[in-house]
Amino acid sequence: MTRHGGLQLLCCLSLMLAGVAARTATVGQELAQETGKVLIGTPAPPLVLHTIDGDRIDLGALYGKKAVYLKFWATWCTPCREQMPHFQKAYESAGADLAVIAIDVGFNDSIAAVRALRQKIGITMPIVFDDGQAGGAFHLRVTPQHIVIGRDGRILYVGHLADAQLDAALLAARGARRLDSPVVAGTRGGSPAAGMPVATHYGVGQQLPAQSLTLVSGERVAFRDTANTRKTVLVFLSPWCESYLATTRPVVSANCRRMREQVSELAGDRHARWIGIASGLWATAEDLGEYRTKYQVTLPLTLDASGAWFRAFDVTEVPQAIVADSNGRILRRIRGSDLSDPAAMRSAVGDQ
């Protein structure tokens, strides 16, 4: 290849990557704005957060006294890292009337990874590692997701980009009317899946929920086998795991591929019924459709847009599978690290 041809190729690649980044930013902002339609103007939930350094942050005690800026992020998230200088600047210039808090989404991440990145890039704001509570309460759909709460305790802004709109929201939040007593949060933040108790969790030895799921096809499917004749396997996944995490989390990406391949091999097994539950983080029903087509996935799929089922089954990483017997009793949990054995899924599901 000539030098001129090489320069043309580099130019084309640069333009292509810029186009991908622009589309990603647009989708991210759209998902955040979708969340904003539900949250903006509502009282912020009075959560109690705990930082990775052992400090306690009572958000409810801050409302009515100062503005609050929450940023949901992850160490594997490229735009999150790109926005960190802006976030650090917001923290350093906050003053006494603005609390700035970083919330790692706790999804396919670890406190060790958060500490390592903090040291590497030099961020100094309080960092919380979410157990799903904050993400549920603030309808997490994308990373980064910015939440700006005014001094009056109401949610003022939800966004994805670190831009002039975010800066304007931070300025407006600090000037919001200060209240003598904070507003009381209602029930709109973090609502669970329809019919599911807020505090319900499903682990090994417990029964699957009695509820049904709505598939992306529009059909309804019950968690439990109504005929009590087959095992049920719930496969928790993200449609972007294999592709997006290939560079930032290659081991996780490989595990997602292995899970998909092993599930695809067994999906027609008459001894088990299969349901794919996709995380709503950075995903839409359209993304699931593209995932199904790209990888020729045949198992029924549902989108857990609110993250309620991921929280209910204590799933904080993908891939993961929950196996229940024919009576709906949960037998075991299969994690990505279990999949080095090509027969791991077959062994877990069994032939009987």
What's the CA gap between 160 and 146, in Å, rounded? 6
Question: What is 28-175's CATH number, 3.40.30.10, 3.30.43.10, 3.30.420.40, 3.10.580.10?
Answer: 3.40.30.10
Beta bridge partners of 323: 233, 332
> Contact, 345 vs 320, CB < 8 A?
no
Contacts of 247 (CB under 8 A, 6+ apart): none
Question: Rounded to two decimals, what is the model's pTM?
Answer: 0.88
One fold for 28-175 and 212-349: yes
Is domain 212-349 given the CATH code 3.40.50.1220 in the classification?
no
In the chain, where the domains are located: 28-175, 212-349
Report CA 54 to chain centroid distance, whole Å: 23
Q: Which residues pair with 71 in a beta bridge?
A: 102, 146
Q: Which helix (H) or strand (E) holds 134?
A: helix 133-137
Output the DSSP codes for 320-334: EEEEE-TTSBEEEEE
Output b/e per residue, 42-52; b: 16+ Cβ within 10 A.
bbbbbbebebb
Lookup result for tokens 């929450």: 70
* Per-residue tens of pLDDT for the chain, all 352 residues: 555 555 554 443 333 333 344 456 788 999 999 999 999 999 999 999 999 999 999 999 999 999 999 999 999 999 999 999 999 999 999 999 999 999 999 999 999 999 999 999 999 999 999 999 999 999 999 999 999 999 999 999 999 999 999 999 999 999 876 554 444 444 333 444 444 444 589 999 999 999 999 999 999 999 999 999 999 999 999 999 999 999 999 999 999 999 999 999 998 877 899 999 999 999 999 999 999 999 999 999 999 999 999 999 999 999 999 999 999 999 999 999 999 888 888 888 885 4
- Which residues in 102-123 are b (16+ Cβ under 10 Å) and which e? bbbbbbbbeeebbeebbeeeeb
Q: If you write DSSP's letter for every residue of 255-310 in order, what string do you get?
A: HHHHHHHHHHHHTT-TTEEEEEEEE-TT--HHHHHHHHHHHT--S-EEEETT-HHH
